[in-house]
Amino acid sequence: MFKPLQIVVVAFVLTLCALAWAEPTLPECPPDRDRALWSFMDRYLLELYDNNPGGYYQIVGDESRLGELEDVSAPSQQIWNDAEQALLEDLRKLDQSSYTEADRTDFDLLQYRLMTSIAQSKYKAFQTPISSISGPQIWLPQMGSRLPMTTQKHREMYVQRLRGVDVLIGDHMDNMRAGIQSGRVPPKVILESVVDQVLAQCSGEIREDASKSPFYEPFLSLDESDPLGVEAREIIADRIVPVYTELALFMQNEYIPSCRDTIGASDGADGIDGYNAMLAYHTTIPMIQAEQVHEVGLHEVSRIKAEMMEVIAQTDWEPADKFGSHDEIFSAFTQYLRSEPRFYHTDPDALLEEYRAIAKRVDPGMVTLFRRLPRLSYGVKRLAEYQEDSAPTAYYYPGDMESGVPGYFMANCSKLDQRPRYEMIALTMHEAVPGHHHQYSLIAEIENQHPIRQTMGFTAFGEGWALYAESLGLEIGDRSTNGLYADPYDNFGRLNMEMWRALRLVVDTGIHAKGWSRQQAIDYMLENSGLAPHNIEAEVDRYIGWPGQATGYMIGQLAIRGLRAVAERDLGEDFDLRSFHDELLKNGSVPLPLLELQINRWITNQRPISQSP
């Protein structure tokens, strides 16, 4: 028998459940915003959601279609391309005469996004969906940990998703066959570990017991006889294991033999124009050229190396007299770092615990850098073991407050002798706070902004911010002793991480525009950094497989540093670091040219009236 209070609680829970499965409900247009533009953003967002429900359910506040997987078939790609063209045409028909600054920003972002997506569509990236760091062998097995699983309905829809895995992988294989026919295929070198990754999803252990599959993870807490768990095991055994077996055979016998022996994007079907288009996409700088990026990289490598030499002199390492030149000292020091046991953990749990301890050291300093902090919490977890061998050192997985999913700094715990401790502070600040977690979580909390803005992410801004965030450790604590980087080895690690991103400008353009070999790229990075050899090889393969993406980090960081320098110069004593950081992040991710306009307006507004032009 329910007591009155229990009745109220049950009624409240039922109301929440009804709301959770309601149709998308978008916010009303604020009174100070242009209604036609707001209505267009509603339409655009709902079309995005309809095209990929699983990718946009958080934004529209509707979990009712979580059972659907994205349609990646070639006909679906063309339908979406046509839809974007129609959207752009209709956007440009809107009357802009009475736009506020917020309206103008939204219009410019919408136009930029649609134009960029339409321009990129001719390169048909969907025909090359697999590499060693991305593809259905990586992301699909993780979907159970990246979706809400707090209710029975969530698990039912997850089972529905499992039923679509074989169709989605079949569409990917059809697209890759079309890529073979058009000559749009990746270099063979970035596919060396893919077959093993695919086979991990259809191993003998999983064939014998489907509950060993990563796809079954959401049901591990249930009783073995639970009907949904039984159904999930049947789908894994009867549909998912066979399609991954088919994919492994396709990759090994058909696809990889048809891929390129060359590694440069300019050697591919889309040539140097395709590569320059990728540089423009990831840096958000129109018309940027490979040669320009290469020269910036060379300059930054020289600058950072000079700073590294100064920090080396502050460590307890004592070079022998035979090391006369800077290059000899640098080479000997980096060899010492790579071989000295005190710089490496031997236990994955110890590595994770140190990351967590660093995060706790950073957290109190956040109030000295920002006036606004996000509500969403974050944690540190190990990267999936089947993914680690070919994955970078770390990732960030965004969370969602409404779905009860925290953000996660995902650490690679394989090959611990290649994961130096002196890089851990910078990595934590990049992936967690004040880097990715801080930035992405704030986007979800922006008030009076259309939710479509939460769907916009630009490499140069997001990764540029995270790289800039690494340097903020110098400003947490005692600045006279380099803050969190008081230990010279940690400070060298920070510079080493910055050097890593500068090297990308040189190496990425070297590979894709200047004919560099894979070994030439590896050697250049070994000579100019203290990065571990395994990491360097994994990184070079990433640049080969993802042309242009890696250049966005340093280009974005340089832009943010430049804007801060201008603000400090123009505002003098009126410059407030916390306000500057909040301003940078207040609109979410934006292309660099729009960010420059935003900060210039902010600088003007911060000046005393007597100083304003």
pLDDT of 1 higher than 50: no
User: Do residues 323 and 456 both lie within one domain?
Assistant: yes
Give the Cβ contact number of residue 9 at 10 Å. 12
pLDDT of 86 higher than 70: yes
Task: Give residue 567's identity as a one-letter amino acid code.
Answer: A
Two tokens at 393?
A: 């050192």
User: Do residues 279 and 247 both lie within one domain?
Assistant: no
User: Do residues 145 and 238 both lie within one domain?
Assistant: yes
Residue 172 in domain = yes
Domain membership of residue 217 as a residue range: 140-261
Two tokens at 135?
A: 């593809």
pLDDT of 366 higher than 50: yes
User: Do residues 309 and 210 both lie within one domain?
Assistant: no
Domains of the chain: total: 3
What angle separates helix 459-471 from helix 271-283, to the nearest 10 degrees? 50
Considering 215, 231, 261, which residue would you say is the last residue of a domain?
A: 261
Q: Which of 18, 90, 94 is nearest to 47 (CA)?
A: 90
Considering 527, 543, 558, which residue would you say is the last residue of a domain?
A: 558
Residue 576 in domain = no
Give the Cβ contact number of residue 411 at 10 Å. 24
CA distances from 267 to 125, 289, 468, 481 (A): 16, 17, 33, 49
User: Do residues 109 and 145 both lie within one domain?
Assistant: no
User: Do residues 532 and 425 both lie within one domain?
Assistant: yes
pLDDT digits (tens, 9 = 90+) for 58-76: 889 899 999 999 999 999 9
Residue 131 in domain = no
Residue 27 in domain = no
Residue 179 in domain = yes
* pLDDT score, position 17: 43
Residue 361 in domain = no
Alpha-carbon dihedral angle through residues 575, 576, 579, 582, given to the nearest 10 degrees = 90
Residue 606 in domain = no
pLDDT of 490 higher than 80: yes
Element (H, E) at 386: helix 385-388
User: Do residues 80 and 211 both lie within one domain?
Assistant: no
User: Do residues 552 and 449 both lie within one domain?
Assistant: yes
Once rounded to an integer, what is the mean pLDDT over residues 265-269? Answer: 95
Task: Give residue 117's identity as a one-letter amino acid code.
Answer: S
Residue 439 in domain = yes
pLDDT digits (tens, 9 = 90+) for 549-598: 999 999 999 999 999 999 999 999 999 999 999 999 999 999 999 999 99
User: Do residues 176 and 70 both lie within one domain?
Assistant: no
Considering 122, 150, 170, which residue would you say is the last residue of a domain?
A: 122
For 13, half-sphere exposure in the C-beta direction (CA atoms, 13 angstrom radius) is: 7
pLDDT digits (tens, 9 = 90+) for 503-536: 999 999 999 999 999 999 999 999 999 988 888 9
User: Do residues 333 and 292 both lie within one domain?
Assistant: yes
User: Do residues 443 and 294 both lie within one domain?
Assistant: yes
| DSSP tally for the chain: helices H, then strands E | 25, 3
User: Do residues 249 and 312 both lie within one domain?
Assistant: no
